[in-house]
Amino acid sequence: MKTLARFAFVALGTLTSAGLAAPAGPEKTAAALRDRILAGSRAAEWVSQITDLAGSRLPGTAGDRAGVAVALSILKGQGFASVRAEKVMVPVWQRGVETGEVLSPAPQKLVLTALGGSVATPEGGLEGEIVRVASLAELAAIGDGARGKIVFIDRPTARTSDGSGYGDAGHVRNSGASAAAKVGAIGLLIRSIGTDPGRIPHTGGMTYEEGVPKIPAAALSWDDAGLLRRLVARGGPVRVRVTLGCRTLPDAESANIVGEVPGREKPDEVVLLGAHLDSWDLGTGALDDAAGCGIVIEAARQIAALSPRPRRTVRVVLFANEEHGLKGGKAYADDHAAELPRHVAALEVDLGQGPPLGLSWNAGTGAEAPLKTIAAVLAPIAADRLLVGDLGGADLAYLLPSGIPNLGLLQDATEYFDYHHTANDTFDRIDPKILDRSTAATAVAAYLLAERPETLERIPEEKRKLPAWLK
C-alpha cells in the first residue's frame, strides 16, 4: 500500500509566489499547465490531509467540523484569496448499533449497514419472514404478500465504466423503504448498491415518502444477499432479525468552504470548481469525495502559479452535505443568487480517482466549439470525450435554473463502486499518478474557461429544470 512518505510532490509554493512563465497563447499555456501537473502535483497530499486529520465527515458530526477546519487550513496555507466558511445548516443522522442474523432455517450472521436516514428498529430488534423481489415493480405487484414481512430487494448493480449501473440501481436504495411500507412490510433489506463481491456493505442516502409509514432500512453485503437469495429459493420460510440503533437529531451548523484565484481582468466573473467535503461514516471518504476536493484545490493552485493569471476568477467551493440532503448546494445558490448571472461555468469533480475521460456538459449549442478546444488539449491524456448531459454533479443542481453552463469531469468508474460508501473508502485506494491526470484535466478546463475572451452560451430555458429526484 502507498504511504504519503513515498510520494514525490512538486513544491510550487503558495499562490502569492512569483509564478510560472507561460508560453504565448491560451492553448499552449494550458498544455504547459497539463504537463507540469502530470510531472507531479500535490493533489494526493490534500486528500491525505482531509482524510487523515478529519476522518469520516458525516454532516453535523465532529468529523464534519474537523473537515471544515482542515479545508480552511489548506486554502489559507496555500494563499487562496477570500478564503471563508459559509454557514450551512445540515441534517444530523447517527448510525448506532447495526446487526443482522438469519434465525431459520439455520442461525447465521448477516453483514449489513443502515441506509442513511433510516429509522431505528424496536430496541430488541425487528424479526420477520423474508419476501424476496427483484425490483420495485415486482414489489408493487405482490399486494398482501409482503404484509407483516421484511422485504428483500435483490437487484444487483452492473459494473460499468461510466457509472450508469449505479444510476440504474439507485432508485431501489432511495425509495425502496416507502415502496415496501405501502404494501404492509415492516422492514427493508436491499442488496448493496455497489459492485464488489464480498462482505462489505454499502451505505447511502434514502428518503421516506410523506404520509407513508417509516420502516427500518439496511443494505446487505453481496455475499449475504446471495445467502438470502439461495435460502428463499430452497423454499420454506426464511426468518431474520435486524437491529438498527440509528436516530435523527436536530439540524447542526456546517459550512461550504470557498477560496479564490482572482481574475486579472474580470474578477467579478467566476468559473466555479466544486467537490463535496462531507462523506459517509463507514470509511474516510477518500474517493467520495476527498479525491474531488484534492483535485479542485490543486487545479486552482496550479492555475494561480501561472503568470499572467487567467482573465476571470477561479473559485473553489467544497460543498457541505452532498451525501445526505444537498444542503450545501442549495445554500450556495441562495447565498450567491445576486452574482449567479456572472458565473460563466461550474464544473464538479465527484467520481473518485478513476482516469479522466473527458467532460460532460449542459450549455447552449454554441458551447460545443470552445469545449472542443479544451478537448484537443486533453487528447494527449485520452481525456477528450465530450458528453452532453444534465448535471456536472449533484451539488450543481440548484444552479441549473440560473442557466450557468454545467460541466462534470468524466472518469473511468469501473472500480469506483467497489469502494464508494463503504469501510474500504480510505486513502489507501488513492494512486497519486492517476489523481494527477484528473487534476491536469480539471486545471486545463478551468483555465481555458476562465481565459477565453467570450463566455460559454448559457443553458437553454428548456434544460434548466430541477431534476425530478431533487423535487
pLDDT at 33 over 50: yes
Alpha helices by DSSP H, 222-307: 222-233, 291-304
Reported as a pLDDT band with limits 50, 70 and 90, residue 6 is very low
Cite the residue boundaries of each domain of the chain with CATH code 3.40.630.10.
Answer: 13-92+250-463
**More confident: 11 or 241:** 241
Q: Is the pLDDT of residue 279 over 50?
A: yes
The answer, yes or no, to whether residue 144 has pLDDT greater than 60, is yes
CATH class (in words) of the domain with range 96-245:
alpha beta
The pLDDT, as a whole number, for residue 467 is: 84
In angstroms, the first-to-last Cα distance of the chain is 42
Largest CA distance in the chain: 75
Q: Are 460 and 404 in contact (CB under 8 A)?
A: no
> Using CA of residue 139, residue 145, residue 148, residue 152, what is the dihedral sign?
negative
Looking at the chain, the whole-number percentage of residues with pLDDT higher than 90 is: 90
Does the pLDDT at position 24 exceed 90?
no
Residue 209 has pLDDT above 70, yes or no: yes
* 232 contacts: CB under 8 Å, gap ≥ 6: 130, 132, 152, 238
Residue 203 has pLDDT above 80, yes or no: yes
Tell whether the model's pLDDT for residue 20 goes beyond 70: no
Q: What's the grid cell of residue 195?
A: 459492485
In this prediction, residues 55-77 reach a mean pLDDT of 98
Residue written as grid cell 504537463:
35
Query: 322, 323, 348, 451: which one is catalytic?
Result: 322
Q: Is 190 helix (H, G, I), strand (E, B) or coil?
A: strand
Tens of pLDDT, residue by residue over 369-399, are 999 999 999 999 999 999 999 899 999 999 9
Q: How far is CA 361 from CA 3, 83, 165, 213, 413, in A?
A: 35, 28, 20, 39, 18
The pLDDT tens digits for 323-377 are 999 999 999 999 999 999 999 999 999 999 999 999 999 999 999 999 999 999 9
8 A C-beta contact, residue 111 and residue 224 = yes
Per-residue pLDDT, 469:
77
Where in the chain do CATH 3.50.30.30 domains reside? 96-245
Q: How confident is the model at residue 471 (pLDDT cuts 50, 70, 90)?
A: low
Q: Choose which CATH entry (3.30.450.40, 3.30.420.40, 3.40.630.10, 3.30.930.10) describes domain 13-92+250-463.
A: 3.40.630.10
CA angle, 101 as apex, 419 and 155 as ends, to 5°?
45
Quick check: is 322 catalytic?
yes
- Contact by Cβ (8 Å): 311, 344: no
d(CA 467, CA 471): 7
Is pLDDT of 15 > 90?
A: no
Beta carbons of 450 and 303 less than 8 angstroms apart? yes
Given a cut of 80, is residue 9 above it in pLDDT?
no
* 285 torsion bin: left (phi>0), alpha (psi -120 to 50), beta (else): left
- Position 308 confidence tier, pLDDT thresholds 50, 70, 90: very high
The whole-angstrom separation of Cα 205 and Cα 381 is 34
Bridge partners (DSSP) listed for residue 10: none
Contact between residue 94 and residue 246 where contact means Cβ atoms under 8 Å apart = yes
Neighbour order of strands in the sheet with 187-191: 108-110, 98-104, 239-244, 126-133, 150-153, 187-191, 217-220, 112-114
